[in-house]
Amino acid sequence: MSAADGTLVGVSKIVDHGRNSHRSNLVFLAEGYVLGDLPNFIQLVDEILAEMRVTRPFHTLWPNLNVHRIEIASAETGADIPTTGLKVRTFFDASFGTGCSERQLQVDDHAVLRFCNTHVAEHSAAIVIVNSQEHGGSSGDVIALSAGIPGSKAWGVMHELGHLLAPLDDEYTGKTDCPGHLPQARFHGAEPVDANVTTVRDSFSLKWSDLVGVATPPPTLETDDCVNPTPVPSPFDDGTVGLFEGAGRFNCGLFRSEFDCRMRHRGRDYCEVCTRTLARAISQFGPRPAELSRNLWTSGWDMISAIEIDGSPHLVSYKPASGSISIDRVRADATGSDQVMGSTWSTGWTSIVPLQLDGQPHLLLYKAGSGQVEIDATTNGGQDVTPVWTSTWSTGWTPIVPSMLAGARPIFSYKIDSGSVSIARVRATGTDPEVLGSTWNTGWSHFALWEQPWGASLVSYRTSDGSLELDRILNGGQDAETIIETSRDAGATSLVPLTWHGEPLLVLHRMSDGTARFDHLHDPGPNAAFPAWVSTLEPSLGKIAGHAWSGGWQSLTPFTLAGDPYWVAYNGSVAVIDRID
């Protein structure tokens, strides 16, 4: 590599989920692209990411990744091809091999790593895309891949990321066509340290014993001939976890957990063992709340919500028992908040819902006991709160969740005892007739709702048994369809929706023991276009981080400050402001 062989054109952070120091950072580098060809590199990286973004487990773990693109214009196009005598001047000296190794495409790993150290010091994986229509690649600590490999380029990248991020061993076997080069027949070595291959032959002391069904025999499938194994189709259902002989590039003596996996054939999904190993490795790079300030508050602020007033986050806090109300402006440095309005209202309000109506901050107030409802305008920087509409609804609506659907401001309301559901648009002059009236199961205790390009995603949680459902709210709120039915730990006391660097996140927190779980919601919508090579777009709700705090935090109220996600946590005597790093 030398300056004469190419020049750095630009470094871009193309997937930005916050601080590089807290994320796993993938770096794509251009090699063998002259300046005029760089748009092809950019397009190829975009295609790879579009596929990764919707592929298990990266679709769930996406918020834990940052992606960087380094555009380098080489002096000449392509890579050296010694078998044809082609020699070109490129930045990282890409070269194909010879003989049996003619598909081995190598770059100067040392130069790549040093270059990454300079431009993205936090790099976790360096992926060099070589501008050659010849088929080739290689990987060690640097992944090199030619633009000409057949099939999906993302498949190769994801296989290699399994090595780099987890790390996972190969699960393919010792096929070789090299003259004078014997296949890897039988492994006689020590138990591999990697999570996805083993020499162990019984399912009890196995690394993945928890995934093996009682009816699955160990070994599940053995190789018939260690030198020339007969290819056989799987006699088991897809997803059967057991002990399948042939892994780690050896035909015999090493076992994998499933018949097929992305670490065996790049066009397959990761098996369950590889999926969870990757998830475990990447989940440490998930969202991480950090305490920025801690202030004493009086007790009894049982209802806290956040609303933006004049471009700044404000907290609206209410004591249902005494009627005390306070609106506080959050300081720009998050060291606390300063009261702009304090008053005493009537007692018994069960919902105070912040809404932006006609570009102005408003509050919708509702008493579940009497059905009394009103909409208040907040003016003068939050100092004045004035009722602009009052009415009486039926009793029992709790909770009430604000949303945005098709540019309108509807509220989602639910009655926990009867299961009644209502979606109705709110205006400063009152509410329109409901667009959805229905009856769901009873007992749902918490809801979270995110606006999506096609409608909204609604998560419902039942604290009594941990049931959790994802529904799509379509057609401006007129239709709802259930997409995911699953469960989490019971007993959560807070369900917090976050829009975190553009990603919908769900936080389930249990105040008794301080445990918190962050899930990422990936919902491509009902009519999403499939990227090339992807056969399905699977909605998912998966864990990306878990934390354990002290107990007693009764509420977590999210807000945005200077573009960063925050929340205020309150435990009855202390209010803490966290930035969600």
Site for other proteins in 284-343 (CB under 8 A): 284-285, 288-292, 294
> Which residues sit opposite 533 in a β-bridge?
none
Draw the binding track, 39-78, toward other proteins (x: CB under 8 A; -: no contact). ----------------------------------------
Helices (H), 457-538: none
User: Does 13 engage in binding with other proteins (CB under 8 A)?
Assistant: no
Nearer to other proteins, 412 or 570 (CB): 570
Instruction: Supply the minimum distance, in Å, between the C-beta of residue 472 and other proteins.
Output: 30
Question: Which of 522, 517, 551 is closest to 539 using CA atoms?
Answer: 522
User: Does 174 engage in binding with other proteins (CB under 8 A)?
Assistant: yes
C-alpha span between 345 and 63 (Å, rounded): 42
Nearer to other proteins, 266 or 415 (CB): 266
C-alpha span between 303 and 329 (Å, rounded): 16
C-alpha span between 60 and 158 (Å, rounded): 14
Residue in 2, 84, 181, 299 binding other proteins, rule: CB under 8 A = 181
Q: Of the ranges 186-194, 401-409, 473-481, 523-531, which one interacts with other proteins (CB under 8 A)?
A: 186-194
Rounded to 5°, angle at Cα 385 from 383 and 390: 180
Draw the binding track, 531-550, toward other proteins (x: CB under 8 A; -: no contact). ----------------x-xx
Residue in 2, 39, 83, 121 binding other proteins, rule: CB under 8 A = 121
C-alpha span between 341 and 316 (Å, rounded): 9
Residue in 55, 74, 90, 139 binding other proteins, rule: CB under 8 A = 139
456, 450 Cβ separation under 8 angstroms: yes
Residue in 10, 83, 110, 332 binding other proteins, rule: CB under 8 A = 110
159, 170 Cβ separation under 8 angstroms: no
Tokens of 245: 């002989």
User: Does 151 engage in binding with other proteins (CB under 8 A)?
Assistant: yes
Instruction: Supply the minimum distance, in Å, between the C-beta of residue 302 and other proteins.
Output: 18
Nearer to other proteins, 396 or 491 (CB): 491
Q: Of the ranges 108-116, 426-434, 440-448, 463-471, which one interacts with other proteins (CB under 8 A)?
A: 108-116
Residue 460, CA distances (Å) to 305, 312, 403, 497, 506 in order: 19, 29, 14, 11, 11
Nearer to other proteins, 43 or 98 (CB): 98
327, 377 Cβ separation under 8 angstroms: no
Q: How many residues bind other proteins (CB under 8 A)?
A: 80
User: Does 558 engage in binding with other proteins (CB under 8 A)?
Assistant: no
Under DSSP, the state recorded for 404 is: -
Residue in 27, 149, 363, 401 binding other proteins, rule: CB under 8 A = 149
Question: Which of 244, 331, 336 is closest to 296 using CA atoms?
Answer: 336
Nearer to other proteins, 207 or 427 (CB): 207
Nearer to other proteins, 102 or 222 (CB): 102
| Dihedral pair phi/psi, residue 437, rounded to 5° | -130, 125
Residue in 22, 415, 520, 522 binding other proteins, rule: CB under 8 A = 22
Question: What amino acid is encoded at 319 in this protein?
Answer: K
Instruction: Supply the minimum distance, in Å, between the C-beta of residue 265 and other proteins.
Output: 5
Instruction: Supply the minimum distance, in Å, between the C-beta of residue 373 and other proteins.
Output: 34
Q: Which of residues 152-171 bind other proteins (CB under 8 A)?
A: 155-156, 163-164, 167, 169-170
Draw the binding track, 487-516, toward other proteins (x: CB under 8 A; -: no contact). -----------------------------x
Q: Find the helix or strand (DSSP H, E) in which 446 lies.
A: strand 446-452
Rounded to 5°, angle at Cα 267 from 261 and 271: 20
User: Does 362 engage in binding with other proteins (CB under 8 A)?
Assistant: no
Secondary structure class of 279 (helix, strand, coil): helix
Residue in 101, 216, 356, 398 binding other proteins, rule: CB under 8 A = 101
Q: Which of residues 187-216 bind other proteins (CB under 8 A)?
A: 187-194
Question: Which of 126, 246, 233 is closest to 196 using CA atoms?
Answer: 246
Q: Which of residues 245-264 bind other proteins (CB under 8 A)?
A: 248-249, 264
Secondary structure class of 566 (helix, strand, coil): strand
Distance between first and last Cα of the chain: 37
C-alpha span between 528 and 539 (Å, rounded): 11
CB half-sphere exposure, 166, CA atoms < 13 A: 26
Draw the binding track, 261-280, toward other proteins (x: CB under 8 A; -: no contact). ---xxxxx------------
Q: Of the ranges 41-49, 185-193, 206-214, 463-471, which one interacts with other proteins (CB under 8 A)?
A: 185-193
Q: Of the ranges 144-152, 364-372, 407-415, 464-472, which one interacts with other proteins (CB under 8 A)?
A: 144-152
Residue in 2, 7, 83, 176 binding other proteins, rule: CB under 8 A = 176
Secondary structure class of 286 (helix, strand, coil): coil
Residue in 62, 172, 366, 393 binding other proteins, rule: CB under 8 A = 172
Instruction: Supply the minimum distance, in Å, between the C-beta of residue 132 and other proteins.
Output: 14
With b meaning 16 or more CB within 10 Å and e meaning fewer, what string describes 33-57? bbeebbeebbebbebbbbbbbbbbb
Tokens of 505: 């996140």
Nearer to other proteins, 243 or 327 (CB): 243
Nearer to other proteins, 471 or 578 (CB): 578
Question: What amino acid is encoded at 333 in this protein?
Answer: D
Under DSSP, the state recorded for 115 is: H
